[in-house]
Amino acid sequence: MRAHTRQTHWNRQTHRNRPTHRRGRAALPLGLATAVLAVAGSTVGLAASATVALPNVELIVNGRFDSYPWIWDCEPTTSRSTIPHEHYTTGRPTADSYAGCTQKVRVQPDSAYTLTASVRGPYAFVGVSGAGTAPTAAWSDERDWNDLTVRVTTGPGTTELTVYFHGWYEQGPYDVRGVSFVGPGVPPSPCGEPGSASPTASGPATPSPTASCWRTYLP
């Protein structure tokens, strides 16, 4: 009987030494909880701002053909107007040349852009081409100045496009002025992208464009 009593006493003692409850998760003080929520909200805001689309800007350099460096890469069968305050480019197509000019522009993937230009003369074309984007163009054969518009949407991997204008083989001369290409992006350097092609026969010989330079405007 005594043994039984001692065993019972030992069990009671052991029971008293055991924890009587589990440690619960401590609640955050109200001020700290508010701060945590604020940080989480700011993190979401940063993530959202990182995906905000770039503003629409002009991506063509010297679209009015009124300054140097020329930037445009043109065939020898093109020339600029020499009439003061009349700035445009003239193309004279031949059997071997449709007298065209091109300019490369930096673009954003999956984005919409608009190309506009004023042209006159038979079979004047303006358009856009590039990897991952369907070639798109417009043309006119009117004698008087008229406006052409081309809209293009870039593909998921497109970062560069080529803007161009030209005439057609063995047709009459054409003129183009006021070329504009607008859409989301970063404004280009005043002298074009570093390392891009030097101006061609459309203008006088000049050094290759650099990251820092200035433009010379024509009267």
In a domain, 156, yes or no: yes
Q: What is the pLDDT of residue 212?
A: 62
Q: Is the pLDDT of residue 14 over 70?
A: no
Contacts of 36 (CB under 8 A, 6+ apart): 28
Q: What is the pLDDT of residue 51?
A: 53
In a domain, 17, yes or no: no
Q: Give me the percent of the chain exceeding a pLDDT of 90.
A: 54
Q: Is the pLDDT of residue 197 over 80?
A: no
Domain that holds residue 170: 56-217
In a domain, 213, yes or no: yes
- What CATH number does the domain containing 126 carry? 2.60.120.260
In a domain, 109, yes or no: yes
In a domain, 89, yes or no: yes
Q: What is the pLDDT of residue 132?
A: 85
**Structure pTM?**
0.69
What average pLDDT does the segment 28-37 reach? 48
What average pLDDT does the segment 143-151 reach? 97
Total structural domains in the chain?
1
